[in-house]
Structure 1
Amino acid sequence: MADETGIDINPAPQANGEDTAPAIGLISQYVKDLSFENPNAPAAYQWQSAPQIDVQFNIGADNVGENIFEVSLKIDISSKADEGTMFVVDLKYAGLFGVRNVPDDQLQPFFLAEAPRILFPFARRVVADVVRDGGFPPLLLEPIDFHGLFLQQAQASQDEQVGDMTPVGQA
């Protein structure tokens, strides 16, 4: 049935009733692995030098079932002062995502940009809590632009491929 504009206001349902729209949903999120080391306690609490904090990130995605993917943020943090190591945090925070009708070429951008953006605030809280529970001021990680990093990485990869095709000399 069409309205006065000619637009069908009651579109016919799919013949088989199947929903073919692309969808991705977060099923669960969890701490997969967590380690906090305080190797120089109690002396570290008396050190006066400012610590240098090194934070490293890694993102991984694995197919763990039919249309189910696990995306994990691996966060490695070390805090070192002139006197020695104050603390070390190793966190693997993960989320399970259900995927339906999403083209394969769209999965990588989601898993490397959008999924980490969803998981990061929760991983950030875990880091702050564990550092605080270790006797230090909470460590609040700076927000990360995962989408921007993904675009930079994709551009660098594209530039590298173009560079491989550039002639090296003249013939």
Structure 2
Amino acid sequence: MADDGNVISNLDLGGNGEDTAPAAGLISQYVKDLSVENPNAPDSFSWQDAPQVDIQFNIGARPINDEVHEIEMKIVVTAKAEAGTAYIVDLSYCALIGMRNIDDAQAHAFTYAEAPRIIFPFARRVLADAVRDAGFPPLMLEPIDFNGLYVQQLAGQAEGQPVGNA
């Protein structure tokens, strides 16, 4: 039992006191850049044909230090109708992730599959709000299987296919 007034007790389990357990997690997330263009407003609000929506994704990462990396999810949405461009939304949604005592293969998988899976719902909400705030119905993106895409990318690399064709 812990000493009076001390919630945490010393559980000496025979270790040397070093933290050697593998750990990975999200530290914070944020909008790094957001651009919303509505170039043909107010005319675009009266267009009758439904716009064709093109969505481009890119996941990037850069180290901040030995244990912290920034993950950047770049999403560009372009909606074009026969009469012209309805809207363009360009979002860079980022997260800081911490990883310690993880081998390179697991760190790579966490960086490019698990971290994007964690932050995608938040980026999806930012996009939906941005499109709605531009005067259009919110864009509701379907969930994405980032783990499946990651495995597909690795398989493609093993077969000599260029990266980015998942």
**TM-score, normalised with respect to structure 1:** 0.85
Structure 1 residue ranges without an equivalent (≥5): 1-9, 162-171
Distance (whole Å) between structure 1 residues aligned to residue 14 and residue 98 of structure 2: 24
Match status 1:65 vs 2:82: no
Counterpart CA distance in 1 for 2:87 and 2:111 is 30
SS of 2:14's equivalent in the other structure is coil
Structure 2 letter corresponding to 1:43: D
Matched residue type, 1:123:
A
In 2, Cα distance between equivalents of 1:13 and 1:97: 30
**Matched residue SS, 2:64:** strand
Q: CA offsets, 1:2-38, max 9 Å, x none?
A: xxxxxxxx984212x0120100121100000000000
SS at match of 1:21: coil
Q: CA RMSD in A?
A: 1.4
C-alpha distance in 2 between matches for 1:108 and 1:30: 21
Equivalent residue runs for 1:79-158 within 5 Å: 79-158=79-158
> Counterpart amino acid of 1:127?
L
Instruction: State the secondary structure of the residue aligned to 2:136.
Output: coil
Q: Distance in 2 between matches of 1:44 and 1:73?
A: 28
TM-fit CA distance, 1:106: 1.4
Task: Give 5+ residue unaligned stretches, structure 2.
Answer: 1-10, 162-166
Distance 1:97 1:149 in 2: 20
With the length of structure 2 as denominator, give the TM-score of the two structures: 0.87
Aligned partners of 1:27 and 1:141: how far apart in 2? 25
| Equivalent residue pairs, number | 151
- CA–CA distance in 2 between the matches of 1:160 and 1:138? 39
How far 1:90 sits from its partner (Å)?
A: 0.2
The residue aligned with 1:164 is none
Percent identity (aligned): 58
Deviations 1:104-156 (A, max 9, x none): 12111111110000010000000000100110000011111000001111111
For the pair shown, which has the larger CA radius of gyration, 1 or 2?
1
Distance in 2 (CA, whole Å) between partners of 1:155 and 1:11 is 45
**Which residue does 2:21 correspond to in 1?**
21
Provide the residue aligned with 1:55 in structure 2.
55
Q: Deviations over 1:21-63 (max 9, x none)?
A: 1001211000000000000000000100110000000000110
